[in-house]
Amino acid sequence: MSITEAGKVLQTMDRQLKQFPEVERVFGKVGRSTSPTDPAPLSMVEAVITLKPQEQWRAGMTWDKLIAEMDEQLQYPGMPNIWWMPIQTRIEMLATGIRSSLGIKVFGDNLQTIEQTAVSIEQLLQNDPRTKPYTRSIYAERLTGGYFLDFNIDRDKIARYGLTIDDVEEVLMTAVGGMTVSRTIEGRESYAINLRYARNFRDNPDILRRVLVPTPSGAHIPISQLAEIKFVTGPPMLRNEDGQLVSFVFVDVNGLGIVDYVNLAQQVVNENADIPQGVRISWAGQFKYFERAKAKLMVLAPLTLLIIFLLLYINHGSIVEALIILLAIPFSLTGAVWILSALDYNLSIAIWVGMIALAGLAAEMGVLMMLYLVLARKSHFLKIHYYI
């Protein structure tokens, strides 16, 4: 996508979003900064939407309904919609390179094979009845959809004029691409001075054929007499990870937890996807965070219970009393699960951390109850001894 076309799409999206009565203002951005850590192509539009107070919304309108209407209104080929908070989008992109809640990485050595595999996964998850209801949008990157204008320099022809490859490429770089020749300082601002042909001398292939190349004899030769100029297709952007080429499939999940969706998607891919030899896939995005946290919790949760047991045993000097106190933990966790089920909450890292804290509070309450039981038993024995 060209910069001009990307700007038109951005303005059209902003106008469509502003038509919703619940929207106060829209600010869209396309492109990326000069930082190499910002992997935003021109086909990615970031629109920050500021909503009016909910009291001013249409009757019966909810957050989910508003997102659904916006998603239906903004349908652009090759540009799936992902509805996130602005800071969340930026953090996820910089941390994982995935600009959606869930991503699928397709690794391989051949661009065409990688693209075919990614597109087949996109179609499977979009059409399979197990994942279709929970897939708001899904899009596989197209790796071979870029168009480039190639100048194939003919060595024999340039040799007749006493030119070298560097001579011709320097003219192309300066006249067409532009060359920074100096910088200007205006107060605290610094700007590069770029030298190249005016736009009307380089905005179409026919004019580019007439770019003049100076020769040692002083003559100027059109570049069409020195090189073959033609359009070719190729990858608009290459990604490399773990020493292999990689393509991303972006998935926006709706109405289901990430882990549950991945379980369904893995079943669909394993049963129906034809993964060529030399190609592998991995799941990324928030699911990667979950797997990492799950591995840590598998160690922390038993370690927490063991530490609680050791502290109870050191304090009471009795394994029986320590085990009795620990019996309070499963009952408290059972109540927590019931509450989560009643509120229809999905399990998350924050909830598991809360479970660990709840286990500590349950053990503390068990210690208190055990203290009262011991005191009551001693008091009862003292009364019996007194009566005897």
- What's the rounded Cα separation, in Å, for the pair 386 and 33? 86
Quote the pTM value.
0.65
157-171 mean pLDDT: 88
- Each residue of 258-297: pLDDT tens digit? 778 888 888 888 888 888 888 888 888 777 777 887 888 7
Residue type, 266: Q
Checking 259-267 for CB contacts under 8 A at 24+ apart, the result is 259/287, 259/290, 261/102, 261/131, 261/134, 262/102, 262/287, 264/130, 264/131, 264/134, 265/104, 265/125, 265/131, 267/130
End-to-end CA distance of the chain: 98
Confidence of residue 39 (pLDDT cuts 50, 70, 90): low
Each domain of the chain, given as residue ranges in start order, spans 1-79, 146-234, 318-387
Lowest-pLDDT range, 88-102, 122-136, 199-213, 341-355? Answer: 88-102
* CATH code matching the domain that covers 146-234, chosen among 3.30.2090.10, 3.40.50.300, 3.40.1160.10, 2.40.340.10: 3.30.2090.10
- Each residue of 288-342: pLDDT tens digit? 777 887 888 788 878 877 887 888 788 777 787 778 777 777 777 788 888 888 8
Confidence of residue 372 (pLDDT cuts 50, 70, 90): confident
Task: Please name the helix (run of DSSP H) or strand (run of DSSP E) that holds residue 295, with its range, or none.
Answer: helix 286-316
pLDDT reported for residue 33: 65
Residue bearing the bigger pLDDT, 264 or 98 = 264
